[in-house]
Structure 1
Amino acid sequence: MELCETYRIPHSQLMGAAGGRWTALDREKALAWAAYRRDVCEGCGTRPQEWDPEQGGDRQAYVAQTHRCLGCELIEMEQEQVPSGAEGRGVRIGLLAQPR
């Protein structure tokens, strides 16, 4: 469904059906996907139901794992150089691949 959302196509078309028309089932799947996505925490990517035993979840559903992204580290280091106030407003740092 994520690919369907990205390419704005019905699920049946993704699965090989000709025509590209949205069926009732395609619409149901798209609405269910949208509801699922609304329920996902932007911070950690989990859903409340995954943690709630009364909804089939488990309080120990996940464990935290530390990960260091060197790209994020580089962006944060560069962001520290951006001036505060009006001069730094709207400044965003991105990564560009170095030619090899």
Structure 2
Amino acid sequence: EDPSKDWVLAGVIVRKSTTKKSQKGNQFMIWTLSDLKDDLKTVSMFLFRKAYNELWKTPQGTAVAILNPNVLDKSQNSVDQACLSVENSDRVMILCQSK
């Protein structure tokens, strides 16, 4: 990988889905992340594999940074600005937790 092409998404978990199962039977979860600005734009972050296994308990209100998430196609009726995914928990940094 070329480090000059790295990018980071930072946001606060404003909503979490319940645990879901993929068509292959693997568990995953969706975090809704926001920058908390006035117009409250959001991004869906799908947590798969190791990211799900190690981060599913992360509480709502946690600020996170995600290195090089995968960009997914978003559904036409989605209100989110983007749909992203991460499979490796090593790419997720917990920044802080609100009270």
Greater C-alpha Rg: 1
TM-score bracket for the superposition, by shorter chain length = under 0.3
Q: TM-score, normalised by structure 2?
A: 0.16
Q: Which is strand-richer, 1 or 2?
A: 2
Tell me the TM-score normalized by structure 1: 0.16
